Amino acid sequence: MHASTSLLAAKSLASALTVTDLTARAGLDVLALLVLVGWLYRRRRPVAEMPLALTALNLGLFAAMTAISAGKFPAGVGFGLFGILSLVRLRSAAFTVRDVAYAFVALVIALSNGLPQRETWMIIGIDALLLVAVLLVDDPGSHQPTRVTKVTLDRVYRNADDIRADLTARLGSEPLTLEVDEIDYVRETTRVSARYPVQDDARALLPMQRDTTSDPSQLAEAPAEGEKSL
């Protein structure tokens, strides 16, 4: 077993790495990336930084796999590569579970396209399978997009119905769902996360500001993080 592992680790894939093969695999990777980021991800309201992040993750992993396969392939390099990838975090609160899923698909596409000695039909099949799965599962028309607004209210409530009624009166729109994040009896405040539907023409962060899109000065006064102390 040890001898077989050592022989596999020392095996070079450089003999299979030709200019034609590399160009074909790079073309397939870029084409799949354009479909994933340029079409599928942009069908929704994308986070501005996510297309750059997805492109960097995909092309970076493809370049790393190409560099590794161009020479000897020690087993430690493979473990090191996945160790580095495990350090990647989408730390911004604006990134959602959907964004993480797109990032994972971009990494898998790069990995499948970056490995040499693979049949072209298999690479095309893997790329097509991933893209079709995203197309079918992440359908923008299947449900209404929403956003979460964090609000700090200046009192303590007896139940969630009172919070919902107060938010509706203050913000002019009833939330779809409501979650109490924190109750502070010392300061007599209640911190909640309210989910509201996203309108196609809405650019403001608070429901009561949806009709101020024609006045840029009023949009500039909206809190940057979608949070307002009431």
Range of the domain at 181: 146-229
Together in a domain, 14 and 118: yes
Of 148, 63, 58, the C-alpha closest to 104 is: 58
Q: Name beta bridge partners: 190.
A: 153, 183
Same domain, 83 and 184: no
Residues 81 and 186 reside in one and the same domain:
no
Do 90 and 170 belong to one domain? no
Domain check: are 72 and 156 in the same one? no
126 and 39 co-located in one domain = yes
**Residue 189, pLDDT score:** 92
Could you write out the DSSP letters of every residue in 175-228? -SEEEEEEEETTTTEEEEEEEEEPPTT--SSSGGGGGGTT-HHHHTTS-TTSEE
* One domain for residues 162 and 78: no
- Residues 6+ away with beta carbon under 8 Å from 153: 163, 166, 167, 189, 190, 191, 192, 230
| Segment (H or E) for 229 | strand 227-229
Q: How confident is the model at residue 138 (pLDDT cuts 50, 70, 90)?
A: confident
Q: Considering 89, 108, 142, which residue would you say is the last residue of a domain?
A: 142
Select from 142, 176, 205 the last residue of a domain: 142
126 and 31 belong to one structural domain: yes
If one counts every other C-beta atom within 10 angstroms of the C-beta of residue 51, the result is 17
Across-strand partners of 184? Answer: 189
Task: Work out the number of other CB atoms within 10 angstroms of the CB of residue 99.
Answer: 20
Exposed / middle / buried, residue 185 (Cβ in 10 Å: 0-12, 13-18, 19+):
exposed
DSSP assignments along 38-71, one per residue: IIIGGGS---TTHHHHHHHHHHHHHHHHHHHHTS
| Strands, E assignment, 41-160 | 146-153
In this structure, the answer to whether residues 15 and 126 fall within a common structural domain is: yes
Q: Same domain for 103 and 115?
A: yes
Q: Are residues 90 and 196 in the same domain?
A: no
On the question of pLDDT at 89 being above 70, the answer is no
Give the residue from 126, 142, 158 where a domain finishes: 142
Identify the band that residue 88 occupies on the pLDDT scale cut at 50, 70 and 90.
low
Is residue 24 domain-shared with residue 111, that is, in the same domain?
yes
Q: What integer is the mean pLDDT of 16-31? A: 86
Highest mean pLDDT of the ranges 3-7, 15-19, 136-140, 154-158: 154-158
In this prediction, residue 171 has a pLDDT band, given cuts at 50, 70 and 90, of: confident
How many Cα atoms are found within 13 Å in the side-chain-facing hemisphere of 220? Answer: 3
Whichever domain contains 207, its CATH number is 3.30.70
More confident: 125 or 219: 125
Q: Does residue 220 have a pLDDT over 60?
A: no
Quote the number of domains for the chain: 2
Side by side, the strands of the sheet bearing 146-153 are: 177-184, 189-197, 146-153, 227-229
Model confidence at 99: pLDDT above 60: yes
